[in-house]
Structure 1
Amino acid sequence: MSELPVQRIDLEPPPLHELSNSIKNELAQNFESASVSVEQCPDLRQAPYNLAFAGLCGSPRIADVGGQPNLAPTPDFTKKYDLLNITKLMEMPEEQGALLGAAAGPFHVVGMNSELMPNLRWEGGEVVNETHFAKVKDDGSALCEKLPSHFCALMANLFGSAGLPGDALHITASSRTSTLNFTEAIRTALQDAYGTRTISLGGVFLISKGKAKLHIMPDFSTTPLVTDEQKQEWLRFYEMEAPLVCLSVLHSHDPGLDLRIEHTHCFSDHGEGGHYHYDTTPEEVQYEGWFNVAEVLYRIDRP
């Protein structure tokens, strides 16, 4: 694992207040009601967020591990990753840290392909793991539940920090009025404001009202997935109910690292979760999110 190739870029993150002002206008154009402020984030270990750590502060960093070429057209079954080893490649301290994000589930643990919602912290040798996964059951229905594993496979988009409380971007939006989803509106705002300067955010948002379109990867395809149409037909799509806790990583610009520009996975305590696409009830949807901006970007095991 320590031999995986790593590319590292030091980012120049703007102050949170500047980011807040950049995001406000775009959200207002896409939602009937929206707000962006810089606030001390609540204890994210508590409901409704249920993270493994209190906050998003302390040396924030983002890693893009592996990638979609490891999945299609045919899966590369050698691509098994240990998230705790990945944190070392992200130059995170062994004494204390936290990780959240979106990844492909560890097929070698689950027994099949799945979606993963990494959500863990470590402190003094102890690991607290609130990671969930979502899979397609034999009858075609979806299942989302906790997975007491720190492995993933194929691809992962991860936000790491010390997991400490502190200031973060507090973003709310309700009643969507455009075709952009919540994360697309944030990304578009950053693109418009910063152009080819890379701004990378990670954090958590809650869909507290409404429903959302999510997908779950079924078990691996027996035939190569070459075209986008084949991939879409292979995926399983579901409409899922709030409340959904969504772990998200996004970038305003790819500085030539083949980044996945946005990746968000959702979990819940009512058995629903998966890969976020957009809400399906624009008039009633309500979002509330907490994000921090990364200081360093890592591209690990780029295909």
Structure 2
Amino acid sequence: MPLVNKKKVYDLNKIAKEIKLPGAFILGAGAGPFQTLGFNSEFVPVIQTESEHNPPVNNSYFAYINPADGGCLLEKYSKKHHDFGCALLANLFASKGQCGKVIEVKAKRRTGQLNFVTCMRQALGTHYGNKPVGMGGTFIVQKGKVKAHIMPTEFSSCPLNSDEEVNKWLHFYEMKAPLVCLPVFVSRDPGLDLRLEHTHFFSHHGEGGHYHCDTTPDTVEYFGYFSPAEFLYRIDQPKETHSFGRD
């Protein structure tokens, strides 16, 4: 922003090597690889990157707007896409994909204004203070509905210079459980101009996109597993920055 830079495209196999974790299992949220898809989309990465002994595996999804009726289309990556990339931006959690200790979180009936991820992020911030704590994982919206957005398939030809302008460009939807969400969040920014939380989701009933919050506080139920990160990597940090469009 304010205008798209189409030169910013990334290969997750290369990213895994850059962070010294070839063969990494990667999940999170980002922008789909328009350079191979031919259009803009919400990227839901579920990827095992390539290593010396194993080929990469891509079980990712991408959500995009149906040009016929403006609804949501959700597609799983297949061999026809030949792609392990994303574009523009991404918030990713990388691990060895092995068994280990995790944090289990169950919650239902939202009583405040903050969404599920923000509540966890702020709780970490309250406890750890100035020490940044990053986490990634997955949670399921088991019951209820959520507010979500999907970016248009065509990039904006007009500069987007505020949250209001970004929200006018985005398409918003209400989507129903069950939804599989892949959050990446950091309790505080240690001076790297981070997006503090980013969550995309997919489902098995054709809905997916960017998670904002639930719209059914009395009936919503969340269930998730999360793991703390050991390292934080900032790749290709922009020289010119902004504070909008990060909800």
> TM-score surpassing 0.5?
yes
Aligned partners of 2:84, 2:230: CA distance in 1, in Å? 24
Quote the sequence identity (%).
Answer: 51
Tell me if structure 2 keeps the 8 A contact 1:74–1:224.
yes
* Aligned-partner residue type, residue 160 of structure 1: A
TM-score by length of structure 2 reads: 0.91
Partner of 1:56: none
- Classify the secondary structure of the residue corresponding to 1:78: coil
Q: 1:163-174 maps to which residues of 2 (within 5 A)? A: 163-174=97-108
Structure with more contact order per residue of length (Cα contacts < 8 Å, sep ≥ 6): 1
Which residue, out of 189, 194, 197, partners 1:262?
197
Which residue, out of 242, 259, 262, partners 2:177?
242
Partner of 1:286: 221
- Cα displacement string for residues 209-265 of structure 1 (whole angstroms, at most 9, x for unaligned residues): 110001001121121112221111000000001110000100001000001100000
1:88 and 2:17 are equivalent in the alignment: yes
Aligned partners of 1:145, 1:282: CA distance in 2, in Å? 29
Tell me if structure 2 keeps the 8 A contact 1:80–1:151.
yes
* Aligned-partner residue type, residue 222 of structure 2: Y
Tell me if structure 2 keeps the 8 A contact 1:198–1:254.
yes
* Aligned-partner residue type, residue 87 of structure 1: A
Q: 1:214-225 maps to which residues of 2 (within 5 A)? A: 214-218=148-152, 219-225=154-160
Query: Structure 2 regions of 5+ residues with no counterpart?
Result: 239-247
* Aligned-partner residue type, residue 8 of structure 2: K
Partner of 1:73: 2
Query: Structure 1 regions of 5+ residues with no counterpart?
Result: 1-71
Aligned partners of 1:252, 1:204: CA distance in 2, in Å? 17
Tell me if structure 2 keeps the 8 A contact 1:145–1:269.
no
Partner of 1:142: 72
- Cα displacement string for residues 102-135 of structure 1 (whole angstroms, at most 9, x for unaligned residues): 0101111221111001101146322221100000
Please, what is the CA RMSD of the aligned residues? 1.0
TM-score by length of structure 1 reads: 0.74
Partner of 1:226: 161
Partner of 2:94: 160
Question: What count of residue pairs does the alignment treat as equivalent?
Answer: 230
* Aligned-partner residue type, residue 167 of structure 2: Q
